[in-house]
Copies of this chain bind each other. A is one copy, B any other.
Amino acid sequence: MKNVYMDHASATPVRKEVIEAMLPYFDQHFGNPSTVYDMGSKIKQVMEEQRAKVAKLIGAKAEEIIFTSSGAEANNLAIKGAALARQKKGKHIIISAIEHHSVLNSARFLERMDFEVTFLPVDEYGLVDQQRLSQAMRPETILVSIMHANNEIGTIEPISELSAICRERGVIFHTDAVATVGNIPVDVNELNVDLLSLSGVSLDAPKGVGALYFRDNLRLMPLIHGGIQESGRRGGTENVPAIVALGKASELAAKELPDKVNHVQGLRDLLVAGVPERIEQVKYTGHPKERLPGHASFCIEAIEGEALIFMLNQSGIYANTGSACASKALKTSPVLVAIGIPPALAQGSVVFTLSNSNTVEEIEYVLEKLPVAVDKLRSLSPLWRTKEAA
């Protein structure tokens, strides 16, 4: 049977070069970087080299990178760390209505700590409006967090325009770039952000590693308190093999990104053109142009997304419905609700996220199997049969 994996936003296979780079740090160079003898100091040096590689990928300085255990941890550290360190200045923060659960629920936590949170609405494409952000700003606003791109609908936000509004008022700006770093070029200075979260997943690095960029010695309350690791901003022994993996993956991404963007965009365009030709009553969600190059998301009328995923799975196709975290927690995706998709249509969400390993043949295979699966599911749907009969 075919094996067509198109759920790269949920998880990616780690590249061979990355595994090879990481392996010696499990049992050969295994020392603790905080120890003072030669083994420790050599490993500390290796770790600092990785920090420089990750920094380079996003146009930052090495000392502005904190290694974390995931993109989710980076988001938690950014939101809670920046807000709790600044609460004497004010207790109001602003996030968009379509943030990842790790940002959203960090903001909800701050509400319990007597912060006020404004949730900015988005338009039909998922875009945050500059004017709305300006209007939401208050004298006591200390932090704004708007994601760089949304994994469920692919839309890329106008970050540099939004961050400019914050910069002129001295308000800290964070962006969750988990969906973009590794998928499109990202530069912290062009984006003009103070904090940026990234994850190993979009870089084909292992699970369990991420990073937070923080500008110019920005104050952060640690999320994980402990020793003086990571410039005192994140305690606990550093996860050296994972850090080496992230460094190697960042180095490779920096070289290969332009080719990857072209490759996945070509495939994505084939898929996006082919689906409405073969399936009636399907809506392409998210922004048609300002979106991740390897991202195609649809809502299909009279379909239950999870049932479709199972049907595709039987043909060896791996796709997603809504975000990975949301898929089991919620019936209707809050992101699709936020962009005004009616709840019934939102049920029929299917998301394809592509990578370098995907091929034209795989897209053709999906374009063959997807309509069959949709027809089968619709034939079982009383709603659809009523419509057809009408």
* Chain A interface (Cβ < 8 Å from any Cβ of B): 7, 10-16, 19, 23, 26-28, 30-32, 34-40, 69-73, 75-76, 100-102, 105-106, 108-109, 113, 201, 206-209, 221-229, 235-242, 306, 309-310, 312-313, 318, 320-321, 324-329
Contact = CB atoms under 8 A, between A and B. Distances in A.
Contact of A11 (B23, B31, B221): B31
8 contacts: A7-B31, A32-B324, A37-B313, A70-B224, A76-B223, A101-B227, A109-B221, A109-B225
A72 B224 contact: yes
A343 B306 CA distance: 65
Contacts of A329: 227-228
B328 A36 contact: yes
Given A72-B226, A101-B235, A208 B10 contact: no
B70 A237 contact: yes
A244 B3 CA distance: 24
B10 A27 contact: no
A133 B321 CA distance: 53
A373 to B, nearest CB: 13
B27 A327 contact: no
Contacts of A35: 7, 10-11, 318, 320, 324, 327
Given A236-B72, A236-B73, A239-B208, A10 B32 contact: yes
A11 B47 CA distance: 15
B38 A13 contact: no
A105 B72 contact: no
Given A76-B224, A227-B329, A236-B71, A27 B19 contact: yes
Closest 7 A/B residue pairs (Cβ): A227-B325, A208-B239, A72-B236, A69-B69, A105-B225, A11-B32, A70-B236
Contacts of A100: 226
A357 B34 CA distance: 22
Contacts of A105: 222, 225-226, 235
A328 B34 contact: yes
A97 to B, nearest CB: 17
Given A76-B224, A241-B206, A26 B36 contact: no
B26 A19 contact: yes
B325 A229 contact: yes
Contacts of A36: 306, 309-310, 321, 327-328
B108 A225 contact: yes
A329 B321 CA distance: 48
B16 A30 contact: no
Contact of A26 (B14, B108, B327): B14
Contacts of A72: 224-226, 235-237
Contacts of A106: 225
A226 B72 CA distance: 7
